[in-house]
Amino acid sequence: MNAIRPVRILGLDPGLRRTGWGVVACEGARLIHVAHGVIAPSDKLPFAERLLVLLSGIEAVIAEHAPDEAAVEETFVNDNARSALKLGHARAIALVAPARAGLPVAEYAATVVKKAVVGTGGADKAQVGWMIARLLPTAGKTTADAADALAVAIAHAHARTAAQRAWRVA
């Protein structure tokens, strides 16, 4: 009998100081925690080297956990143009690393991610973390960044399940 491997989804919550990542396996409506963590380059490194740490870290996660698809949270616009630009660089790394590995990459607004996991787009980080603990009990304790990344992966899992249902109806 041929067993079909569940689809693995890598969720990324990009940040220059801390990029959260989480991998879930999606089998129909069932979600299974695979792994999660944070990539945190030293603030003491030059900017380009911090970006390189993010790139290498995401590539290592992809190599270790073999995701089939990736999803990245869109960053909210910061009033400080310099901070927004630097965050944009980190986000670019989060988009390029999985694309470079041949993965399809989806993007989701933070409000969409929160609504998918908590039920409201205005949820705070504590509510997201609480729901991640309920939805993925085997994940154990997560940092806010890793919980956000797992939430991005879950939002993508829900979106792809909804799309598959729509294709079957059409």
Active site residue 68: no
DSSP state of 118: T
Length of the chain: 170
Confirm if 35 and 22 have CB atoms less than 8 A apart.
yes
Distance separating alpha carbons of residues 50 and 31, to the nearest angstrom: 32
Active site residue 43: no
For strands 105-108 and 7-13, give the pairing: unpaired
Distance separating alpha carbons of residues 13 and 49, to the nearest angstrom: 19
Kindly name the residue from 73, 74, 79, 148 that is annotated as catalytic: 73
Active site residue 145: yes
Kindly name the residue from 43, 59, 145, 148 that is annotated as catalytic: 145
By annotation, the residues acting in catalysis are 13, 73, 145
